[in-house]
Chain A
Amino acid sequence: MTTTSASPAPPTRPTVVLAEMDLLDVCEVVVKRAGQKGASQAECYGEHLTATSVSLEQNELKGASVAEHEAFGIRVFVGGAGQRRMGFAYVNRKDGASLDEAIDDALAIARASPADEANELVDPLPIRPIGGLRDPRVACMSTQDAVHLAQQLLESARRTDPRVSIDSGSVSSSHGQTAIATSRGIRAVDVDAAVTWGLFGMAVDPKSGEVGSFDHVYDAARSFDDIKVDVAGARFARQVLGLLKPRKGQSFSGPALFSPDAFEEIFLGALVGAIDGDTVLKGKSRLGDKLGERIASPGFSVVDDGTLAGGLGSAPFDREGLPHRRTVLVGDGILHHFLYDGKTARRAKKRPTGHAQGAARSIPGIGTTNIRVGPGDRSDDELLRDLGQGLLIGRFSGNVDEVSGDFSGVAKGSFLVKNGRKTTPVQETMIAGNVYQLLNKLLARGHTLHRNMTTECPYVLVDGVTVTAG
């Protein structure tokens, strides 16, 4: 890319200079260049990621990989206020010709698109740093470090029982930088680092030939001190061994105890979809006219907090460069907020809530950061006793129709509960219901929150679930 702006790039060697520039500086050059080519507004979101990963396969360390990724998402607008047309392009190279081609692609799309009065970049707001997102000991982990962690993960899962069979798994460390520059004056950069690890597999009994149901564990940490692969390995072993010798379930309609995983998969996924400002605006949300009204049982609360120190979903700014914040979505069963990015807020005549989300490859959309479901007052054992007879749903493999709220699917990793105690695992057991109806049938919640990547949630006892045994 050649440029005549105040960029430090000498025009005779633009590619080399761009390659050596900081991520944020490249974003600024792209924004200026888009303006020179005819954009009335422009935004460039850059990301640079360095990752080391070690994979596991078939109870053995499979291989190692290293990757360095740098990419730019370029959003341009042509035309004046109220009549702007938008185009977007992505490219994963930062030589001048590639970036120029991407700007031209974005402008061509903008010129071929109809105008939309909501097409407008957001104005800058103060951004505060968030602690605990980049531990230098995580950021400088080597391939050999990842190999050692992968060996620990494998051994901790396999050492207690040879029936544990790992189909696949991985340990990955990454550190990266995101930057954003816009023609409205946003200029921000952030760095972070994380380690993730996971196992996927089942128990296989060589004597009986029985193959158990799949299960998995995943976890992540931003702090080196929080890397606990051996805990995950031992948990994985307990989970898959517990799924051997399943029995047919029992058909009933009534209360069931949802694990945090299952509750998140069914209820939180649909809830977040339904409070997405865009879904609301388009009449596709069952909660669109429920702001300020009861949508769930008393005591139920959900908070989104993108400013949580060390949070896996935390970052100082969102995909449009606005600061993240803490938002009460549902408080004591009452719906408090919808989520907005800049475009949707403009359409709804609201303020953006800092929930623009996405990577460089995508146009900003709407999403959450760190979700926390408020704890209840019961221990997990007390919840089992409260249930008495029924089903403990470990995971859900099925479909949730976010529009209607209907869900149906297979209860995986699930157990019959008898006399208030978890007993045998079940197979071919289907569960069904409607999210929006069942949110008003929450009977109790555990006081212990279990973290699953960016979500913290307790066990939740829900009435009115239809269970069908195969």
Chain B
Amino acid sequence: MLDLLESALAKRTGAWLELRLHDRRSRSILVEDGVLEAARATRHCGVGVRAFVDGGWGFASTSVLTPEALLRAIDAAVDAAAAAARGRTQKALPPLPAVFANGTYQSPARQPLSTLSLEDKIALVMKTDAAVRSAGQRITSSSAKYTELVDQKFIVTSDGARVVIEDAKPELRVQAVAALEGELQSCVEAAGHTGGFGDLFARRSAEEMALKAAQTATDLLRAGYVDGGKKQVILAPDVVGLLVHEAIGHTVEADFVLAGSAAAGKIGKQVASDLVTLCDSGQSEYTSGAGGVVLVDDEGVPTQKVTIIEKGILKSYLHNRETAQQFGVAPTGNARAFEFDNEPLVRMRNTYIEPGATPLPQMIGETEDGWLLVGAKNGQADANAEFMFVVGEAYPIKDGKLGPLHRGTTITGDAFEVLRSVDRVGDVFAWELGSGYCGKGQPAKVDAGGPHIRCLATLAGQKEGA
């Protein structure tokens, strides 16, 4: 395939060109209440062509993999770039030259996905769904969904990239719904990793996820509401992951910075407690199999570990080749496209806070009045660093002792204020958000995590029966 792309590239000179063939095969299996609702196989394959002509960017895509179709796509991208250039008020800077990856890069996998047959995978999902329903009398509905993305990419550029990338990302999502006297509560447990089944189930088995979902949904039936207001909170690693992704990560994506995000102009400044060191990496630090592993980005640049905040000081933004040119720094390998027909954008990979020194029991014991928040759901960040995200479980802490489960809530605050308020950082690290997708016009598989941290944030409250 590299030869096919290079042959087309050789026939068109005069413009900067990038050809990315992405062949994605996906399988998903959904079981609900013991019934196989949906099992599907998809193949989405084609070539995305980016062109830079006279200070304008153009993009075209084709799913027809013939030399003639590739040349037509290249010509379409060049024409689009020229049209864009004519419409701009100023010429865009060309992509910064980079040290490109060369060769074949394959993400490591423990027990590769091919070791289970289709029948085995269906049986695994059926069994997981059954485990939810057998976990308690209150469970009225269950579901389990397995999804795998198996990618092969070939990237060539007119300035020297020539790379093959192979990668697999499995995920499992388990839901329990419990009912009592007309009230319904649900809980979702999910895992998503890069690699194989050994990575997907490294920390806990499918059955353990099913039991946790069922137990939490049942417990939520009798759970009280959180009282709102500014609180001292201990965030579990999954919530820390959501915080660093939503609240900080997006504000340091260089394209957002250029538009005036809250992180603009703050390089070298204290933006967080000196206990906080925050990174984004294409590799999987601390434990293997993080869901956002990207060995080479979609511009052919090997990924780096980027230290965004070091001991509270903002050190770096996240860059692609274009923003690196604008900022006069080296690209960081953060250019990502979800599929062949998406253009690469500045995206995160695996984003995390480095572990500290405080064990969780000590952190709880040192908290007089606060909440332990667990179970990251969705979240969003704003340009002014105000963020919101949803947590599924809240546990009160009074005089150093953990109380019973309360219903989930929404947490908000100014991202940098929250990070400045961090006064404890836990000593145990976990990747927790690998089953999620980040949305920025197109999805991206990302992961995030860290240790437990203690900080101040605002919780939404709700009165009983409101």
Interface residues of A (CB under 8 A from B): 54, 57-70, 86-93, 98, 101-102, 105-106, 108-109, 112-114, 116, 143-144, 147-148, 150-151, 165-168, 201-202, 204, 210-214, 251, 253, 282-284, 286, 361-363, 397-399, 401, 403-404, 406, 408-410, 412, 427-428, 430-434, 437, 464-466, 468, 470
Q: Is the CB of A112 within 8 A of B40?
A: no
Q: Is the CB of B260 within 8 A of A202?
A: yes
Interface residues of B (CB under 8 A from A): 32-33, 35-36, 38-46, 56-65, 76-77, 79-81, 83-84, 86-90, 92, 118-119, 122, 140-141, 177, 179, 183-186, 228-230, 255-256, 258-262, 264, 341, 343, 377-378, 380, 382-386, 388, 390, 407-410, 412-414, 441, 458-463, 465-466
A365 to B29, CA, bound (A): 15
Listed A/B pairs (20) with beta-carbon separation below 8 Å:
A60-B89, A61-B88, A62-B92, A65-B343, A69-B341, A88-B40, A90-B40, A91-B43, A102-B41, A113-B122, A114-B36, A147-B83, A211-B384, A251-B228, A408-B409, A410-B386, A410-B410, A430-B461, A432-B410, A465-B466
A412 to B386, CA, bound (A): 10
Query: B81, B383, B413 — which one has the most chain A CB atoms within 10 A of its CB?
Result: B383
A88 to B228, CA, bound (A): 47
Give me the 4 closest cross-chain CB pairs, A-B, nearest first. Answer: A63-B57, A430-B460, A468-B228, A399-B390
A170 to B181, CA, bound (A): 49
Q: Is the CB of A363 within 8 A of B383?
A: no
Q: Known contacts being A113-B122, A464-B466, is A54 close to B84, with CB within 8 Å?
A: yes
Q: Is the CB of B412 within 8 A of A430?
A: yes
Provide the residues of chain A in CB contact with B63, threshold 8 Å.
69-70, 92-93
Q: Please classify the interface of chain A as helix (H, G, I), strand (E, B), loop, or mixed, using the class held by over half of its residues.
A: strand
Provide the residues of chain A in CB contact with B185, threshold 8 Å.
403-404
Q: Known contacts being A60-B90, A63-B58, is A93 close to B466, with CB within 8 Å?
A: no
Q: Is the CB of A68 within 8 A of B62?
A: yes
Q: Is the CB of B255 within 8 A of A63?
A: no
Q: Is the CB of B140 within 8 A of A283?
A: yes
Q: Is the CB of A63 within 8 A of B80?
A: yes
Q: Known contacts being A70-B63, A114-B36, A212-B383, is A430 close to B410, with CB within 8 Å?
A: yes
Q: Known contacts being A88-B39, A403-B185, is A66 close to B60, with CB within 8 Å?
A: yes
Q: How far is the CB of A171 from chain B (nearest CB, A)?
A: 11
Q: Known contacts being A67-B341, A116-B36, is A106 close to B466, with CB within 8 Å?
A: no
Provide the residues of chain A in CB contact with B40, threshold 8 Å.
87-90, 109, 362-363
Query: A64, A101, A106, A213 — which one has the most chain B CB atoms within 10 A of its CB?
Result: A64
Provide the residues of chain A in CB contact with B88, threshold 8 Å.
60-61
Q: Per a CB cutoff under 8 Å, which of B45, B59, B65, B463 touches A63?
A: B59
Q: Known contacts being A65-B343, A399-B377, A404-B183, is A470 close to B458, with CB within 8 Å?
A: yes
Q: Is the CB of B33 within 8 A of A282?
A: yes
Q: How far is the CB of A180 from chain B (nearest CB, A)?
A: 17
Q: Is the CB of B45 within 8 A of A468?
A: no
Q: How far is the CB of B86 from chain A (nearest CB, A)?
A: 7
A65 to B61, CA, bound (A): 9
Q: How far is the CB of A400 from chain B (nearest CB, A)?
A: 10
A147 to B63, CA, bound (A): 25
Q: Is the CB of A151 within 8 A of B87?
A: yes
Task: Across the interface, name the chain A residue whose C-beta is closest to B119.
Answer: A112
Q: Is the CB of A403 within 8 A of B184?
A: yes
Q: Is the CB of B44 within 8 A of A90?
A: yes
Q: Is the CB of B466 within 8 A of A470?
A: no
Q: Is the CB of A437 within 8 A of B466?
A: yes
Q: Is the CB of B84 within 8 A of A213?
A: no
Provide the residues of chain B in CB contact with A109, threshold 8 Å.
39-41, 118
A347 to B207, CA, bound (A): 29
Provide the residues of chain B in CB contact with A57, threshold 8 Å.
255, 259
Provide the residues of chain B in CB contact with A210, threshold 8 Å.
384
Q: Known contacts being A114-B36, A204-B260, is A468 close to B86, with CB within 8 Å?
A: no
